[in-house]
Structure 1
Amino acid sequence: MLAFFLCANTLFAYFVTENNYTQQQRVLKSLDIDTSFLNDPILLSMRDDLDLYRTRHFLNILERGYQFVPIVRQMIADAGIPDAFLYLAMTESNFSARAYSSARAVGLWQFMPYTGRKFGLVIDEYVDERRDPIKSTEAAIKFLQYLHDDFGKWYLAAMAYNCGEGRVRRAIIEAGTDELSVLLDPNKKYVPRETRNYIRKILTMAHLSGSADFIIGHDGDYLMNQGSSSTFAPIIVPGGTTLSDIAKSTGLPVKIVKEYNIHLNYFFTPPNVKEYVVYIPYDKKSLFTQNFKPSDGSEAFYVHVVKKGDSLYEIGRRYGISYKVVKDFNNLSSNTLRINQKLIVPVAKPTTKHYVVRQGDTLGSISRKFNIGLNELMRLNNLTSTVIHPGGKIVVP
């Protein structure tokens, strides 16, 4: 993955300026689409609409993508898939890693949880890598290659990416062909309307993004040289590293480091892995290398879910730290808590001790006393039953 960032530094600006018609033909051929599709009336209408009425919105999307587009473009090129798929991401998310749909699709490539995990993305309590522009692009490339292997044509892979493999298979069977012009028939409706326009949107965005006349003609000259070099760099830190430690080493505010790492659910890297890749501004990499000192590993993090009756003071007392530490670490502006609110509690890594069972104790009461789940307590003690006896010893954290 680091190699992609090195390559991105030498990329030219990500707007293609070749002959307009030649560029359009090349894009269609790369997607296995006959060049006669350039005359499709709905495609022409989309281009005119964007050219006349929505140019500022379109240019804003291009500007938003400058941060990671050079790297994503290079990854797509290295994978040998059509470069027009850069605009599949643009169609899916408007080049926003924060994008979220009502169907629970997330990130630059709008992965659903199941598909994201299937193609290697981690989605858990600590991280949602669907929002990681690099890892999600790696997953999207694998997914598109998988779909192409299945359907044999890139435009079918794109359609399946949008509406699902099963829907495209049924459409081909119903239509008796996989010809694009037939599958897009608005009267037969072999595929949903959104999918019928999906390929057209990708082609429209590829066409206009590759047109110097369009960019300059709508006062977008400033975009022509953006995206020509990397704006952020990957760094490897130990699991459980706080973003504040990274920020201190680079002289950046914590909120800026978090902006570069919106795939992290909290202000620290996953504590359940040995190391993890995060991103910082490219021009801060040398500062980080000089100043960053890894933690000694003595600190751990608990995710505490607020229950009825909890207070900051009580939570701090339970974990053996000041309530002010809990408040500051979670950037709380007041002491008011909400039921089911999640708080991160930084504590010294737990050690274990032996608790001597007393008369009246049950395994359940001991688990509540030491704030540990019953199943976890049984696992620590290699117990297959909840039966315990006075005088016995139970290992507890």
Structure 2
Amino acid sequence: MSFFAGNISYNTKLDFKTISNPAAFYLTNLEADLDKNKIVILDNSHAFAFKVPGDIFKTVKLPKDNWLSFSYSLNFRWDRSNTYWHSNFFLYLKRANRFFPVIEPILKKNGVPDDMKYLCVAESGFTHAVSPAGASGFWQFMKGTAENYGLKINEEVDERYHIQKSTEAACRYLKDLYKSYGSWALVAAAYNMGQGGLDKQLKVQKVNNYYDLMLNDETARYVFRILAIKIIFEHPRQYGFNFLPRQLYTRIPVDEIKVDTTITDLAGFALDMGINYKILRIFNPWIRQNQLTVNQDQPVILSVPKEGYREMEKLSGAFEYTLSADTTL
């Protein structure tokens, strides 16, 4: 079920086949209609329950022997995504305009299916979330797994919050899981519940595919949630998500600064760069303290907004940022 904003309906039509980047969906038709006040006021508020699209099965490979289970699970996640998670999806779609252009080329370069970007959405919703178990960052890496795949974590830095490096690490991890299972559905399940837990269930239940497994509630719904996210992202307006181009979050252009010496006062460094500590942390969320130890033979790259984008008033509304519990000022 999905709700239109208030009790208005927009009198526009859009051919989704013409959209080259579904996450951005620059709705010029909608904007034109809004500018012309072509808004139909309904007599009463209406709520509409959207059905799973009938043509989805042209592109999704379905299990042949357990159609009832698949259909039930997909419809359940579809309804949940359009009710309980509906408000979150507005934020997911807006954030995607900023972060998908970073994530997509990394997945492509590493030979990971583009659809795995929706796993990132399911894991964190593009936030620097910390789970009760301690998984952190966009890809929700546990500390041990992150370090095994090359991410640096100590008192000063946590590269689980570095979007490029964590996405590279996620690609290596996903490819290793695929070597073990040969199925991206099982890869997603292992990513969610852990490889050891999934291996145990495959052995005990004597099956070899995700759709035949009886799993814990979260993992049993996980793949279907990713599928629901994919469908809504590719056809947002069809399911009640309406945006103007200016309402999407944009990525601020940055300069990359190579640093090969230790910085003992990042706040002072930021001021020398023409910004402040808050802006430095927003653009480099992997930094966890006000100092940065650097080995000369292992320089680090810091991102700072380009000239013309460095005043807080120009950045206002461009970022959602909260310090996590383990951050030290």
TM-score normalised to structure 1 length: 0.58
Which one of 93, 98, 101 corresponds to residue 124 of structure 2?
93
Counterpart in the other structure of 1:327: none
Which one of 212, 228, 231 corresponds to residue 204 of structure 1?
228
Of all paired residues, the percent bearing the same amino acid is 26
1:276-287 → structure 2 map (5 Å cutoff): 276-281=300-305, 283-284=306-307
Q: Give structure 2 stretches of 5+ with no counterpart.
A: 1-19, 26-52, 311-326
Q: Which amino acid aligns with 1:84?
A: D
Shift of 1:64: 3.2
- CA RMSD in angstroms comes to 3.2
Shift of 1:250: 4.4
Q: Give structure 1 stretches of 5+ with no counterpart.
A: 1-11, 184-188, 288-341, 345-397
Counterpart in the other structure of 1:386: none
Which one of 74, 79, 92 corresponds to residue 110 of structure 2?
79
Shift of 1:231: 4.3
Judging changes above 3 Å, is the alpha-carbon distance between structure 1 residues 170 and 103 closer, same or farther for their aligned structure 2 residues? same
| Aligned-partner Cα distance in 1 for 2:283–2:24 | 27
Q: Which amino acid aligns with 2:178?
A: H
Q: Secondary structure at the match of 1:40?
A: helix
Counterpart in the other structure of 1:271: 294
For these two proteins, the number of residue pairs brought into alignment is 264
Alignment check: 8 A CA contact 1:128 1:264 kept: yes
Shift of 1:130: 0.8
| Aligned-partner Cα distance in 1 for 2:56–2:109 | 20
Structure ID, larger Rg: 1
Q: Which 10-residue stretch deviates more, 35-44 or 198-207?
A: 35-44
| Aligned-partner Cα distance in 2 for 1:233–1:14 | 28
Alignment check: 8 A CA contact 1:237 1:277 kept: yes
| Aligned-partner Cα distance in 2 for 1:175–1:202 | 24
| Aligned-partner Cα distance in 1 for 2:70–2:328 | 57
Counterpart in the other structure of 1:164: 194
Q: Which amino acid aligns with 1:204?
A: A
Shift of 1:212: 4.0
| Aligned-partner Cα distance in 2 for 1:71–1:207 | 21
Tell which has more relative contact order, 1 or 2 (C-alpha 8 A, sep 6+): 2
Counterpart in the other structure of 1:115: 145
Q: Secondary structure at the match of 2:259?
A: strand
Shift of 1:92: 1.0
1:143 matched to 2:143? The reply is no
| Aligned-partner Cα distance in 2 for 1:168–1:240 | 43
Alignment check: 8 A CA contact 1:63 1:223 kept: no
Judging changes above 3 Å, is the alpha-carbon distance between structure 1 residues 130 and 80 closer, same or farther for their aligned structure 2 residues? same
Shift of 1:104: 1.1
Q: Secondary structure at the match of 2:177?
A: helix
Deviations along 1:288-337, one digit per CA (max 9) or x if unpaired, are xxxxxxxxxxxxxxxxxxxxxxxxxxxxxxxxxxxxxxxxxxxxxxxxxx
Q: Secondary structure at the match of 1:218?
A: coil
Alignment check: 8 A CA contact 1:13 1:224 kept: no
| Aligned-partner Cα distance in 1 for 2:68–2:234 | 18
